[in-house]
Structure 1
Amino acid sequence: MSPQICRFLSNLCFQLGVLSIGASIAIWWFNRGDSPEDNAHAERFGIFVGLWAPTLLIMSNRFDRFADKAEAVPGLRPEHLEENQKD
């Protein structure tokens, strides 16, 4: 996996993590109903979506670290080694 792909995935995970926080609040707010069962469902589903945020933000951090240390990414060969083998 190249550093560019890791950076892209890092940015994507970060944006989705922030979006899931807003989506959690929106789900809770707009899915509320008149009955206690509807309110309970809206709360549970909002919490479920809200729990995605920490996972996505942690994945964003890890992808960013992989991009910083490109040689630490499994299957990626440093560019200077590839150039030496061509000669």
Structure 2
Amino acid sequence: MLVKMLHDKGVRSDHCYDAGLASIGLSIVSWVVSIQAEDAGVSRADRWGIFVGEWAPTFFALGLALRQYED
């Protein structure tokens, strides 16, 4: 089971929650950097922001699963 393997490797639910929050912040940063650094326009920056922002729900779901496993 993935959750057991992660727990055995030392990953805790708090780590996943922190990663989820970090991915939200990274999504905003990647959007701003893409707007400023590339001439591709807002649509490309939106794609970068959405791509990175999609990681957050996965990290939060893993955090919930690990929290249940820890309890």
State whether TM-score is above 0.5.
yes
Unaligned runs of 5+ in 1: 69-87
CA contact (8 A) 1:7 1:67 kept: no
Equivalent in the alignment of 1:27: 30
Supply the AA of the counterpart residue of 1:17.
G
The size of the alignment, in residue pairs, is 66
Q: Kindly provide the CA deviation profile for residues 23-51 of structure 1, in whole angstroms up to 9, marking residues without a partner as x.
A: 1011101211463x243222101101001
Pairing partner for 2:67 from 52, 64, 68:
64
Q: Once the two structures are aligned, what percentage of the paired residues are identical? A: 32
Tell me the TM-score normalized by structure 2: 0.75
Higher relative contact order (CA 8 A, sep 6+): 2
CA contact (8 A) 1:6 1:67 kept: no
Higher Rg of the two aligned structures: 1
Q: Write out aligned runs for 1:1-87 (5 A).
A: 1=4, 5=8, 8-33=11-36, 35=39, 37-68=40-71
Instruction: Output the CA distance in 1 between the equivalents of 2:23 and 2:16.
Output: 10
Tell me the TM-score normalized by structure 1: 0.63
Instruction: Output the CA distance in 2 between the equivalents of 1:44 and 1:53.
Output: 15
Unaligned runs of 5+ in 2: none
Supply the AA of the counterpart residue of 2:58.
T
SS at match of 2:68: helix
Please report the RMSD computed on the Cα atoms of aligned residues, expressed in angstroms: 2.4
